[in-house]
Amino acid sequence: MTNQHAAVANLFPGFSEADSLQISKALTLIEQLTADCHDSARPKGVDVALILMSVHIDLETILAALISDSRVANTLGDAEIRTQFGPVVADLVNDVAWLNKVSIYSTEMANQPNQAEILRRMLLAMTHDVRAVLIKLAYRIQRLRGLHQEQENIRRFIGRETLDIYAPLANRLGINQFKWELEDLAFRYLDPENYQHVTESLAVNREQRQVCIERFLAALHQQLSQEGIKAKIYGRPKHLYSIWNKMRRKQVTIDELYDLLAVRVVVENLSACYMVLGLAHSHWQHIPREFDDYIANPKENGYQSLHTVVLDEDGNRIEIQIRTKAMHDFAEFGVAAHWRYKEGSKFNAATEKNIASLRQLLEDKQTADNLLENFHTELFSDRVFVLTPAGKLIDLIKGATPLDFAYVIHTEVGHSCRGAKVNGQIKPLTYKLCSGEQVEIITVKNGQPNHNWLNPNLGYLKTPRAISKVKSWFKQQQQTENVSAGKMLLDKESKRLGLKTVDTADLLRYFKMADAEHLYEALGHGDINNRQLANALKIPELEPTPIKLVASQSNAQSAITIDDIDNVVTTLAHCCSPVKGDEIIGFISHKRGITIHRRDCDNIQNLSPEQQLQLLKADWSGQQTVHHSVPIMIHAFNAQNLLNDVSQVLATAKVHISNASLKTHDDLSAILNMTIQIENTQQLSLVLTRISHLPNIIEVKRKV
């Protein structure tokens, strides 16, 4: 090993002897593979690995960062990497290579927040191990540090992409060190004039601020010492892009920003955090509106800390951030810190909220004695991200087909779809799309859906939205056919009765309907049978007897015919809660008369041969509006806002809630049980579909 090589190896402290040997082997390999390279600069992989060292990353990530250097990765084969460094490192290198090849971003995305968000999700979804994203972020920082040597158009593109895609990813993973540097460097290239203005403004009063902070630190340290509170206290670094954003947002000059004077207090435990807060508030005047308790209410990425602003003796505003060592490490290193902590530690107790909000980033929870290895991302494992020919990103559920994609583009494109090209090759409409693929739909003029598309066994459609569009089309066709058939039935029945003319208005009053269209549809669908129509045509001047009458458990009127006989008193069974649209059957009960059950009710399926003799044919019919009590269950990743979101969906659908109960679990998931008042199965299906589209929903179903 050369002296230069040894010097580089010394830059990776803190690893065991065995791990250090692995790093030395990787460095030796890099030196051999780049020996003939005319570029005398240190390999990028070494700089990237050093950047990752600042966030306390593990050995496998360091090795993958070193080997992912393009001058090395293009020479070294996958099989050799697996042999020398193991499958985890090889898979990480492959993921980083894919991330480096992604070229979907365009500057137009700056004005399309949804497209930028889909791309961020896609980058997370298509990497098997989230550590590959950390390596990619470090490579971007390395690129930005040397970007001043490149042309202005390249500087601006890289800077814009960094702010739109990579800085938000660093924030989402909770790695503030990366987020701040990515933002500051991008700011430098995108807006050099204001970057220089902020930099120079900070430098002008630097000495005065330093004196103010040192005086405050000394006073705070004295107060903590008197109370016996152990803590590390230091000034908080200033981040240029954050300062500039606050200046723009608040429309103030840099001298008017209070948090340019800021200190951070790191203590041993949670109770000490609040002790320090109380001490600061009792010794200095504080500004109530500037207090934030991110310990009790962590940010979405898991960040925890107490923030308060106090006034010193000279009236200077000073921000104080108070946190434990574990909170501090997570704030600085985010998910990267998982590889330096054991499961079950105080640190992980704090970060579990972050893990829940990121859809369980951890694939497996291991025992307290094992380090978290193979930190796979399940953040968007249920999604696929594909492209239109124009480069627009489309977010679909996993298992979606080209036909689902067509319905996302436009309903008529879906109806007219007859084929698809995926990455330029013809694929069947049942093909399951993969993230990163480009899809082109082949259509025909005046196309219409196929009944086979609704058969779940054939696999044409996966997304509820597309299935709903196809069902709606067929329902519309059926309505048209029913109207036509109803007109023919009315004409036929009137001729049979010898009527020359029929007063439609009389029929509408008789059947309590608003318009002729609904009357014809009811006739064609069979909701009004021939006998009922004949009675109406014979005696239109009489007030009708209700077509169907039922006493349900809620004393509402229902519309049920028993063995073609109307006006039979029935009771809806509590065990299966039948709803109009369900297939039903009647059971003769000695105490309750005729009880109406769903045909698939367990109690009906388990009747003895003798009891089966008590079954009667039952059908829904009639036009009355009847509300049925239906129990439903909603399973969600997080209880926050769940009841409110679901209630809004039900209110929009004009569905009443009878009762509701919410139960949360240790992993922050929740079960919401509700009883809702539903008119028919169509309305129930619509409501369940809308609820399933809410954020964080795992499952929605009707309880049996």
Same domain, 294 and 238: yes
pLDDT at 4 over 60: no
Same domain, 206 and 257: yes
pLDDT at 431 over 90: yes
Short-list 262, 169, 269, 179, CA closest to 213: 262
Q: Can you give the pLDDT at residue 301?
A: 67
Structure confidence at residue 333 as a pLDDT band (50, 70, 90): low
Strands of the 656-664 sheet, one edge to the other: 656-664, 670-678, 628-636, 697-702
Identify the CATH number of the domain in which residue 694 sits.
Answer: 3.30.70.260
Q: Give 382's contacts (C-beta < 8 A, 6+ positions apart).
A: 397, 398
Reduce the secondary structure of 412-429 to three states and give it as a string.
Answer: HHHHCEEEEEECCEEECC
Angle, CA of 569, 572 and 574, to the nearest 5°: 145
pLDDT in tens, 225-267: 998 999 999 886 667 888 888 888 778 777 667 557 789 999 9
Q: Can you give the pLDDT at residue 461?
A: 92
Identify the CATH number of the domain in which residue 292 sits.
Answer: 3.30.460.10
Half-sphere exposure of 573 (CA within 13 A, CB side): 22
Domain membership of residue 512 (yes or no) is yes
pLDDT in tens, 363-383: 333 322 232 333 333 344 567
Q: What tokens appear for 368 in the block?
A: 């307290």
Half-sphere exposure of 583 (CA within 13 A, CB side): 4
Number of residues assigned to the chain: 704
pLDDT in tens, 432-450: 998 878 899 998 888 889 8
Q: Can you give the pLDDT at residue 686?
A: 82
Question: For the chain, how far is it from start to end, CA to CA, in angstroms?
Answer: 71
- Higher-confidence residue of 105 and 269: namely 269
Same domain, 205 and 318: yes
Phi and psi dihedrals of 198, rounded to 5? Answer: -65, -40
Same domain, 58 and 179: yes
CA distances from 660 to 81, 410, 648, 649 (A): 56, 37, 14, 14
Q: Which of 133-137, 298-302, 386-390, 625-629 has the highest mean pLDDT?
A: 133-137
> Mean pLDDT, the chain, as a whole number?
78
Do 321 and 265 form a contact (C-beta atoms < 8 A)? Answer: yes
Q: Give 256's contacts (C-beta < 8 A, 6+ positions apart).
A: 250
Short-list 350, 303, 295, 356, CA closest to 670: 356
Angle, CA of 351, 356 and 360, to the nearest 5°: 105
Q: How many domains does the chain have?
A: 6
Domain membership of residue 389 (yes or no) is yes
- Higher-confidence residue of 188 and 582: namely 188
| C-alpha span between 317 and 256 (Å, rounded) | 10
pLDDT at 603 over 50: yes
* CB contact burial 259-280 (16+ within 10 A = b; e otherwise): bbbbbbbbbeebebbebbbebb
Same domain, 185 and 37: yes
pLDDT at 555 over 90: no
| C-alpha span between 234 and 221 (Å, rounded) | 10
Domain membership of residue 347 (yes or no) is no
Domain boundary among 292, 317, 332: 332
- Higher-confidence residue of 344 and 697: namely 697
pLDDT at 182 over 50: yes
How many CB atoms are located within 10 Å of the residue 7 CB?
A: 9
Q: Give 580's contacts (C-beta < 8 A, 6+ positions apart).
A: 558, 559, 620, 626, 628, 679, 680, 681
Mean pLDDT across the stretch 55-83?
83
| C-alpha span between 689 and 686 (Å, rounded) | 5
Structure confidence at residue 18 as a pLDDT band (50, 70, 90): confident
Same domain, 32 and 145: yes
Strands 560-562, 393-397: parallel, antiparallel or unpaired by DSSP? unpaired
Domain boundary among 190, 209, 229: 190
Q: Can you give the pLDDT at residue 187?
A: 92
Same domain, 476 and 424: no
| pTM of the complete model | 0.51
Same domain, 162 and 33: yes
Same domain, 271 and 125: no
Lowest mean pLDDT among 34-38, 66-70, 314-318, 555-559: 555-559
pLDDT at 352 over 80: no
Mean pLDDT across the stretch 618-632?
74
Domain membership of residue 125 (yes or no) is yes
Same domain, 393 and 512: no
Strands 615-620, 656-664: parallel, antiparallel or unpaired by DSSP? unpaired
Q: Can you give the pLDDT at residue 110?
A: 63
Lowest mean pLDDT among 265-274, 344-353, 659-668: 344-353
Domain membership of residue 265 (yes or no) is yes
Domain membership of residue 360 (yes or no) is no
Q: Can you give the pLDDT at residue 312?
A: 85
Same domain, 101 and 219: no
Domain membership of residue 348 (yes or no) is no
Identify the CATH number of the domain in which residue 448 sits.
Answer: 3.10.20.30
Burial class (CB in 10 A: 0-12, 13-18, 19+), 479: middle
Strands 262-267, 231-235: parallel, antiparallel or unpaired by DSSP? antiparallel
Do 687 and 676 form a contact (C-beta atoms < 8 A)? Answer: yes
Type of residue numbered 562: I
Structure confidence at residue 324 as a pLDDT band (50, 70, 90): very high
Mean pLDDT across the stretch 517-546?
69
Domain membership of residue 153 (yes or no) is yes
Same domain, 33 and 133: yes
pLDDT in tens, 190-204: 998 988 888 887 776
Looking at the chain, the whole-number percentage of residues with pLDDT higher than 70 is 79
Q: What tokens appear for 170 in the block?
A: 């660093």
- Higher-confidence residue of 542 and 621: namely 621
Structure confidence at residue 563 as a pLDDT band (50, 70, 90): low
pLDDT in tens, 39-62: 556 778 888 888 888 877 788 889
Q: Can you give the pLDDT at residue 265?
A: 94
Which residue range is the domain that position 411 belongs to? 383-462
